[in-house]
Amino acid sequence: MKTYETKGLSSFFLLFIACIFFCSCEKYLDVKPDQKLAVPESLDDLQALLDNYSIHIIESDALEVGAGEFIVSDANLASLSSDFHRRMYQWDSYNLFQEGNASSDWARYYTTIYNCNIALEGLTKIKRNSGNAAQYDQIKGRALFVRAEKLFYASLLWCQVYDQKTAANALGMPIRLDTDFNKRSFRSTLGETYQQIIKDGTLAMELLVKQTRSLVEPNRCTAYSLLSKVYLYMADYENALKYADAALKLNSQLMDYSTLDATKSYPMPQFNKEVVYHTLAGSPQILNYVRAQIVPDLIASYEPNDLRLDLYFIKNMDGSYGFRGSYTGTTSIFLGFVTDELYLIRAEAAVRLKKIDIAIQDLNTLLVTRWKKENGKTTYQEIKDSGSDDLLKRILLERRKSLVFRGVRWYDLKRLNRDGANIVLKRMVNGKEFILQANDLRYALPIPDDIVELSDIVQNPR
């Protein structure tokens, strides 16, 4: 296995400290007389560990801040309390992350991976039998799924886009599969990173139940959804189609947007029937609907009878538009898995595989639920076969319009530019133009400086 080895102190020690910081108040850690950490020993203990949703369902808002779908005035940018958001907004090459911050995206992702490894190691000490098999398998499936999902989202931030031609040599993520924080950390290759994501996701798929008690607990449909998204990013369209189809066979529900109330501050209901798995990115200042003004070309792409314009956006006093259509039903940014994205994944994969009928059917099935009705009849005009190139362009446009502010645009920019889309982003700050070229090295964010300093993990080139 090709690796990029560290020197000195293991970066995972820092991550372990972050884990203690985050988890010290949770019920599965008690202070013993000798002041050592309690070790989860029962299935209920491991269940409680994975039920720590305050960590496990939080994603990075960097997936949205740098994606170019909004602009912020100089005054509003200067008023932000977060230097990270200012720097990410203008795609700075260095010093994005505050040093020593235990709540940073890096620490949060690897803390969650560490918790998953605790659960998986704990299971090896418990005998699986007919009486505990269901709980045992679900715990194992959850841990594997969450580890895969966090490693995938981390790769979207800190790695260049997956390209089959270069993945065997490109820098990937540190892969941690146990709780031994004394082991030296190193960056795997990008190919190895994605092999691990797929391995964990596939095993999780085989173990998870079809139905779970809540949308913050993964089930089989969730695993299918993750795999479809990973394979689409990898340009493996056969598998993207396969797993999106499998997920939609378990949950194909779509909301009828004509039944939603656009007069509400946040019209999209939380935990609605489209949600397969619920994760979010909090409510970052920079993405507030007054500060973050949606770029005009996106607003102009919505047709007059398209309900998404009124449900997703609010018109500000200055004529600009802000986003309010989060599937969290609040100001928090939704970054989970949803059936509308699954329809779009299956449609895109199908058209790329020349399965035009599937693509047209999926696109029409989705869009008819997004259009106004008059006298009980939809105003939507069904898409007919207009050729695969035009159909692909329409699907990609509908991805942008439907999945706005869900962390998907950054993912799409990376993979589409890899394939030659040549999408260039520009922003003006204090009279200076900032440009993010297609396939720019800055699509892989700098690893936090203190992690690099302590571990000597290879930093992303600039």
Q: Give 128-160 pLDDT, tens digit per residue.
A: 999 999 999 999 999 999 999 999 999 999 999
From 227, 225, 220, 228, select the one nearest 350 (Cα to Cα). 228
Q: Which domains does the chain have, with CATH numbers?
A: 3-259+333-455 (1.25.40.390)
Mean per-residue pLDDT over the chain, rounded? 90
* pLDDT, tens digit (0-9, with 9 covering 90-100), for 387-410: 889 999 999 999 999 999 999 999
- Residue 92 clears pLDDT 50, i.e. is over it: yes
219 Cβ neighbours under 8 A, 6+ residues apart: 208, 209, 210, 211, 212
Number of CB atoms found within 10 A of residue 276's CB: 25
- Residue 67 clears pLDDT 60, i.e. is over it: yes
454 Cβ neighbours under 8 A, 6+ residues apart: 8, 9, 11, 13, 14
- Residue 307 clears pLDDT 70, i.e. is over it: yes
What separation, in Å, do the N-terminal and C-terminal C-alpha atoms of the chain show?
25
Confidence (pLDDT) at 287:
95
Percent of the chain with pLDDT over 90: 81
From 204, 386, 170, select the one nearest 277 (Cα to Cα). 204
- Residue 33 clears pLDDT 80, i.e. is over it: no
